[in-house]
Amino acid sequence: EAGVVQSPRYKIIEKKQPVAFWCNPISGHNTLYWYLQNLGQGPELLIRYENEEAVDDSQLPKDRFSAERLKGVDSTLKIQPAELGDSAVYLCASSFGSQGEQYFGPGTRLTVT
């Protein structure tokens, strides 16, 4: 069974540029999470989807971050414009139902210069 797929794996951009990350969850998993992981820290939840509905986006900085999961499967996380402090690893996870075990993807390492 394929795991959570994320792309790109690495991204380097200049500050003020836009960037987008893509996530394909495990087949059949209706719950999808985006996490931010700073160097030397644990993951922090940005947003959680149940199917196509964002049920918890309280930690998403909405002035520059946006996310979508239009058909309840793949999801995209966008930052516009990016700032130096956005350099981090962005992790996607999915689960079967909100009580199910979360399976994490390998993450996208973003470097903003």
Partner 1 sequence: GENVEQHPSTLSVQEGDSAVIKCTYSDSASNYFPWYKQELGKGPQLIIDIRSNVGEKKDQRIAVTLNKTAKHFSLHITETQPEDSAVYFCAASNSGGYQKVTFGTGTKLQVIP
**Binding stretches for partner 1 (CB under 8 A):** 4, 40-45, 48, 56, 91, 93, 95, 98-107
Q: Are 84 and 14 in contact (CB under 8 A)?
A: no
From the CB of 15, what's the least distance to partner 1, in Å? 25
Instruction: Rank residues 72 and 81 by Cβ distance to partner 1 and give the closer one.
Output: 72
Instruction: Rank residues 81 and 103 by Cβ distance to partner 1 and give the closer one.
Output: 103
Residue 66 β-bridge partners: 78
Instruction: Rank residues 9 and 62 by Cβ distance to partner 1 and give the closer one.
Output: 9
From the CB of 52, what's the least distance to partner 1, in Å? 18
E strand spans, 1-113: 5-7, 10-13, 19-24, 31-37, 44-50, 53-56, 65-68, 75-79, 88-95, 103-104, 108-112
